[in-house]
Structure 1
Amino acid sequence: MPRFENKNKRMLQVQMSNEKIFALAGSMVAYEGNFKFEKSSLGGGGIFKALKRAATGEGIPLMVCQGSGTVYFAREAKEVNVIPLMGEKLFVESSSLLAYDQSVRTDVVFRGLRGMTSGQGLFTTTVEGQGTVTLLSEGPIIALEVTPQMPLCVDPDAFIAYKGNLQQDFIFDVNWKTFVGQDSGETFQLKFSGQGVVYIQPAER
């Protein structure tokens, strides 16, 4: 299986031996060895799931990287976070995906509620299986634990991903951005309750 590691906090290196991974199109910055790169519309989920991603706006411009040696990925000097999956399902903001194992499956699930007029937050990309997924973040990613006794509310612009047995809801008419002089638009929070981990970034998109 390919070995995903941080070359530094803003660059991913993947060591491969005639293997295949999916990565964000245009994110390859260098490689050592023999590789080929091809555009991919499937992304490890099959044709039906690729069509669903396109229809819901969760489409991800992907490429297939195959070969032997070491390949390096980066995107706009954002920080790279390597997350191993042991059969778990990770719910992730699609714009945060950088690269992942061929063995990892992707899909799109509906997360919206009635009253939501903004497209943001309606659909979420899932990655699931045995393998590794790498996520991009503005600044160091922060993992916050959620317990049944301690739910968590998150600004949707800071949300990266979550895993575990969590329920996601929307809370509307929250005006904290108005307090600090930002144009709030349609203001809402993402509320997580249950048992699991939520990943956020210390910045807004």
Structure 2
Amino acid sequence: MASFSLQGSKLLVVDLAGDSVRALTGSMVAYDGEVDFKKQSMGGEGVMGAIKRKATGESLSFMEMKGRGKVYVAINASEVQLVQLQGETLFVEASSLLALDMSLKTGTKFTGLGGGQTGNGVFTTTVDGHGWVAFTADGPPIALRVTNMDSVTVDPQAYVAHMGNLQQDFVQDINFRTIVGQGSGETFQQRFSGEGVVYIQPAERAGFAGDM
């Protein structure tokens, strides 16, 4: 199995030993050894997976990296977080997914309704199986522990990923922008309860429906 490591906080190093890894198309910045790169049609999920992603807006564009050598992967100087899955499922924003072992399966899951009265559907990408996965964040990713005693509520624009035995729902609230007249008042946050970890970034993602 390929090994994943970080060189600094913004560069992923994938050490290939004759195997394959999926990575975001265009994210290779350097490599050594004998490595072939091939664009994966339909994100590697087949026809039905591609249709579902088009319908939900959770698009993926992957390339396959195969051979022997080291591949250096980065995108937009974003911070990189590594997670080793051992049968769990990682829920992650499609725009944050950077690289993953070929053995891992990806999919799309409906996570609830958001956006207040608009009833917008919210979807996320799932990664499950055994192997390494790397995702990015705008700034150093922050891991928030959720326990049965303490739920965690996050701004959807700062949400990146979560894993564990977590239940997710959306709650309406009033934020500072609403108070000063810069929002309509129709806002919502993501609340997680149970046992697990939620990853957020110290920056808000532009253009999300959290503030309608």
**TM-score of the alignment, normalized to the shorter chain, above 0.5:** yes
**% identity of equivalent residues:** 53
Structure 2 unmatched runs, 5+: 206-212
| Cα distance in 1 for residues equivalent to 2:153 and 2:8 | 31
Q: RMSD between aligned alpha carbons?
A: 2.0
Deviation at 1:66, TM superposition (A): 1.1
Deviations along 1:120-140, one digit per CA (max 9) or x if unpaired, are x71010000000000101111
Structure 1 unmatched runs, 5+: none
Question: Any residues of structure 2 matched to 1:86-105 within 5 Å, and which?
Answer: 86-105=86-105
User: Aligned in 2, Cα 1:201/1:116: closer, same or farther, shift over 3 Å?
Assistant: farther
Deviation at 1:53, TM superposition (A): 1.7
Name whichever of 41-50 and 97-106 sits farther off: 41-50
Q: TM-score, normalised by structure 1?
A: 0.91
Contact 1:43 1:106 in 2 (8 A): no
Q: Is residue 59 of structure 2 the alignment partner of residue 59 of structure 1?
A: yes
Contact 1:56 1:123 in 2 (8 A): yes
Question: Any residues of structure 2 matched to 1:30-69 within 5 Å, and which?
Answer: 30-69=30-69
Counterpart in the other structure of 2:133: 133
Q: TM-score, normalised by structure 2?
A: 0.89
| Cα distance in 2 for residues equivalent to 1:181 and 1:141 | 30
Question: Any residues of structure 2 matched to 1:21-36 within 5 Å, and which?
Answer: 21-36=21-36
User: Aligned in 2, Cα 1:12/1:150: closer, same or farther, shift over 3 Å?
Assistant: same
User: Per the alignment, in what secondary structure is the counterpart of residue 150 of structure 2?
Assistant: coil
Q: Read off the aligned partner of 2:123 and give its amino acid letter.
A: F
User: Per the alignment, in what secondary structure is the counterpart of residue 160 of structure 1?
Assistant: strand
Deviations along 1:58-104, one digit per CA (max 9) or x if unpaired, are 11111111111000010000011111101110111111100000011
Q: How many residues align?
A: 204
